[in-house]
Each structure stands twice: as structure tokens, then as C-alpha cells.
């Protein structure tokens, strides 16, 4: 298959997914043309995945990579409190990977996730890479005027919340590094299935938290529309790093309580058997793609308990900048230094 056959095929797949009145020109021209809703703000983000830095071909599958490439960008859009609408995807592939049919399976995973949120693929690029696969994913979202949730809006006294569990993705990465592989059940191989609701082997569930992260799109839209979050960031580097980013941008400090941090019982179990500290994974492990946000205590009662089956946990409170970013464990309090990506780089 040459490049042009390939583009024709992708174009046909987007055509089969139906027209959208606000898409004036998708794949097939020099650029895409779309209308944004009158008065809405556009939100745009891009992410790179590089072979052997962000993933390894021998521990994942093309469909899972297609899912993950989109998921990481959807997570950024969610962290802005916006609704994802349009995607562009660019691939640099070695000749052997191109010949293996990688792209077809990659786009299966990509569309599996895109379709769940009605995100339209409107273009991209493809080229040959000499040595390593390169994937660039761009997503455009929309939000109501001036409703984007920034990192900079947290105020002393605000409560700090996270969605889901922390540390799972790094636990999954540790298992992959020690040789664990997906069992290859139908649920695992079907990139369109939602593993959080389907029956998956417990170890596969952790591996998939690393290989097939679920962006918190529903929470992002809700928190943006309701204006309940005063500041927000997605947990891509790790809680310690990302909380520090949010506090720096907001010019505040924070105090979180180690005993409140949501850790999946499965992660505790896996860590216990492998001499890993679950709290360290939850504090410094990256790629959970959960949302971390702050809420005025007066408004906290309005937060829903769950969105799309994903629960919230309050983990601490915003303080003044002079007290820094701290964590308490019982009566002990220490500074929470940003330690995410340095220690846990894949
Ligand atoms: P150019 O030479 O101007 O870059 P291309 O032949 O690469 O044009 O692209 C033609 C059309 O195909 C464009 O609409 C582009 O967005 C789309 N396209 C190219 N590669 C991809 C891809 N990997 N995924 C989706 N659309 C793509
Ligand atoms: Mg091109």
C-alpha cells in the first residue's frame, strides 16, 4: 500500500463515520476547514509519542498505541474543562512497520476511542522514519467563552480533588519492565472496549492502565460547564510534579494527606509482592491521566459523586504560597518535591 492508498483508506473511514454539519472540509485537501460554534473558545493541544521513550513496540500493540495517542491529547483537553471535537494524527513509520500493517490496527484503536466521544479525524500526515516510530496527536476542543479551566485559578482554602486511582499506570509499567505481558484475551485485544467495565484479568487491568489510559473526558466537560473547578491539570507527569505545576501557576501552596490518596487495592497487592511502595507510585508515578483540580469549599457540595463511573477523592487543601507544597502522613509533614518524571521515566 502506498501513501496515497493509505490516505484514501483513512479518508473513507472518516466518511463512513458520517458527516458533521460544522465540518466543511476534512481529509483530502491541503488543510481542514471547520466552523466553531458562535462565541465558543477553541482549545488546542498536541502530544508526541516516540518509540523507546514513550512506548516500546514489543510491550504494546498497534491498536493500543492508536488509543493512547489520542487519549493523551483528550486528557489535556479535559484538563482545560473543554469538549474535544477534532483530531489530527501524524505518523512517522519505519518501512518494516509500514509493511507489517501497523497503520490499519493503529487506526482501529484510534477510532475506537474517537467514536466514543464523537471526535472527528480531520487530517494528519505520514512520512517514513529512519529508525524509530514517531506519533504526533493534535486535538481541538471547544468550551463556552472564558470557561476554560486554567492551572492558575486556585486560591488558599480551596479543596484539592483527584479522579480515579493514582499509581496504576506506573505499577503497570513496572510489571511490563519485569516481563509481564497482556494475556491476549478478546477484551484486551479489542481496543474499542472499555476495560473499566468489562471483565479483564487483574494484571491485564494494570498493564492496560499503562498501555490504554482512559482520559476523563466526561469529568472535564462537567467541571468546565459547571465552573466548579477553580484550577485543573491532568496527571501526566505524576501527582508530585503536577500539583507543583498547578501551585506555581496559581502562586499558592498545598497540603495533601497521604492517607487520603486513592490507591487501587490491586496496586497495593501487586506492590506488596514485589517490594514496591504504593504511595511512592501514587505520588511520583506518571501517566495515570486522572484529573487534579481545586474547588471552593462553598461549592464542593455541588460536585457529583461520579461521572462515567469514575469517583472523586478529596486529598487536601490549597494553602498560601509561603507554606509550599507539603504532604502529611499522621503527624509528620514534609515538602512534596516534584519527583515524577525524573524517577519514573520509561
Ligand atoms: P501534503 O502533501 O499537502 O501534506 P498529504 O498528501 O500529506 O498532503 O495529505 C492529503 C490529505 O490527507 C490532507 O487532508 C491530510 O490532512 C490527510 N492526511 C495525510 N496523512 C494523514 C493521516 N496520517 N491521517 C489522517 N489524514 C491524513
Ligand atoms: Mg503530507
Q: What is the DSSP string of 79-141?
A: HTT-EEEEEEEEEEE-HHHHHTTHHHHHHHHHHHHHHHTTPEEEEEEEEE-SSS-EEEEEEEE
If DSSP codes are grouped into helix, strand and coil, which group holds residue 265? helix
**C-alpha span between 165 and 98 (Å, rounded):** 36
Ligand 1 atom 3: residue of nearest CA: 30
Please say whether the beta carbons of 123 and 20 come within 8 A.
Answer: no
Q: Are residues 280 and 170 in the same domain?
A: yes
Ligand 1 site residues (CB inside 6 A) read 7, 10, 27-30, 89-91, 121, 123-126
Residue 125 Cα to ligand 2 middle (Å)? 4
Whose Cα sits closest to atom 20 in ligand 1?
125
Q: Which of 315, 143, 117, 150 is nearest to 222 (CA)?
A: 143
Give dist(CA 207, CA 172) in Å, integer: 4
For 176, the 3-state DSSP assignment is helix
* Residue 270 falls inside a structural domain: yes
Closest-CA residue, ligand 1 atom 24, reads 124
Domain boundary residue among 143, 169, 190?
143
Please state the atom number of ligand 1 nearest to the C-alpha of residue 125. Answer: 20
What pLDDT is recorded for position 201?
86
> Can you tell me which atom of ligand 1 is nearest the CA of 30?
3
DSSP string, 181-232: -----HHHH-TTS-TTTS---HHHHHHHHHHS----HHHHHHHHHHT-EEEE
Full pLDDT tens readout for the chain, 346 residues: 889 999 999 999 999 999 999 999 999 999 999 999 999 999 999 999 999 999 999 999 999 999 999 999 999 999 999 999 999 999 999 999 999 999 999 999 999 999 999 999 999 999 999 999 999 999 999 999 999 999 999 999 999 999 999 999 999 999 999 999 988 655 455 656 665 656 788 899 999 999 999 999 999 999 999 999 999 999 999 999 999 999 999 999 999 999 999 999 999 999 988 888 999 999 999 999 999 999 999 999 999 999 999 999 999 999 999 999 999 999 999 999 998 665 445 4
265 lies in the same domain as 184: yes
Helix 168-177 to helix 265-273 angle (10° resolution) is 30
The pLDDT assigned to 183 comes to 80
- Report the domain count for the chain: 2
Q: Are residues 175 and 319 in the same domain?
A: yes
Same domain, 65 and 212: no
C-alpha cell at 82: 473543554
Query: Which ligand places an atom closest to the C-alpha of 110?
Result: 1
Do both 242 and 291 map to the same domain? yes
Q: In terms of residue numbers, what domain contains 79?
A: 6-143
Point out the ligand 1 atom lying closest to the alpha carbon of residue 90.
23
Please answer whether residues 327 and 257 qualify as being in contact, where contact means their C-beta atoms are separated by less than 8 angstroms: yes
Residue 30 resides in a domain: yes
Compute the distance from residue 337 Cα to the ligand 2 centre, in Å.
43
Q: Pocket of ligand 1, candidates 24, 27, 89: which has the most ligand atoms within 8 Å of its Cβ, to mutate? A: 27
Tell me, yes or no, whether 16 lies in a domain.
Answer: yes
Q: Which of 150, 119, 152, 140 is nearest to 40 (CA)?
A: 140
Amino acid at each position: 500500500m502506498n501513501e496515497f492508498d493509505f490516505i484514501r483508506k483513512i479518508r473513507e473511514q472518516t466518511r463512513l463515520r458520517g458527516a458533521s454539519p460544522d465540518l466543511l472540509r476534512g481529509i483530502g485537501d491541503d488543510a481542514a476547514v471547520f466552523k466553531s460554534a458562535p462565541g465558543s473558545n477553541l482549545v488546542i493541544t498536541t502530544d508526541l509519542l516516540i518509540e523507546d521513550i514513550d512506548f516500546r513496540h514489543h510491550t504494546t500493540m498497534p491498536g493500543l498505541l492508536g488509543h493512547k495517542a489520542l487519549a493523551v491529547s483528550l486528557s489535556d483537553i479535559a484538563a482545560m474543562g473543554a469538549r474535544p471535537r477534532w483530531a489530527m494524527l501524524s505518523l512517522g513509520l519505519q518501512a518494516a512497520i509500514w509493511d507489517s500493517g501497523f497503520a490499519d490496527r493503529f487506526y482501529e484503536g484510534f477510532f475506537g476511542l474517537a467514536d466514543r466521544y464523537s471526535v472527528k479525524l480531520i487530517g494528519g500526515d505520514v512520512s517514513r522514519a529512519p529508525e524509530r516510530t514517531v506519533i504526533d496527536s493534535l486535538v481541538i476542543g471547544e468550551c463556552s467563552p472564558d470557561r476554560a479551566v486554567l492551572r492558575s485559578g486556585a486560591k488558599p482554602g480551596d479543596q484539592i480533588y483527584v479522579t480515579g486511582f493514582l499509581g496504576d499506570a506506573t505499577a503497570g509499567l513496572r510489571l511490563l519492565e519485569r516481563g509481564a505481558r497482556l494475556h491476549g484475551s478478546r477484551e484486551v485485544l479489542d481496543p474499542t472496549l472499555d476495560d473499566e467495565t468489562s471483565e479483564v484479568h487483574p494484571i491485564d487491568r494494570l498493564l492496560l492502565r499503562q498501555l490504554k489510559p482512559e482520559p476523563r473526558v466526561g469529568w472535564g466537560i462537567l467541571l468546565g460547564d459547571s465552573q466548579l473547578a477553580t484550577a485543573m491539570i491532568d496527571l501526566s507527569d505524576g501527582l508530585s510534579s503536577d500539583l507543583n505545576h498547578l501551585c506555581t501557576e496559581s502562586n499558592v501552596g498545598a497540603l495533601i494527606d497521604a492517607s487520603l490518596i486513592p490507591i487501587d487495592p490491586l496496586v497495593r497487592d501487586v506492590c506488596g509482592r514485589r517490594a514496591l511502595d504504593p504511595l511512592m507510585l501514587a505520588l511520583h508515578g506518571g501517566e495515570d491521566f486522572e484529573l487534579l483540580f481545586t474547588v471552593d469549599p462553598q461549592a464542593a457540595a455541588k460536585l457529583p459523586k461520579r461521572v462515567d463511573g469514575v469517583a472523586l477523592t478529596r486529598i487536601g487543601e490549597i494553602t498560601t504560597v509561603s507554606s509550599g507544597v507539603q504532604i502529611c502522613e499522621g503527624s509528620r509533614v514534609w515538602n512534596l518535591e516534584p519527583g515524577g518524571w525524573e524517577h519514573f521515566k520509561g
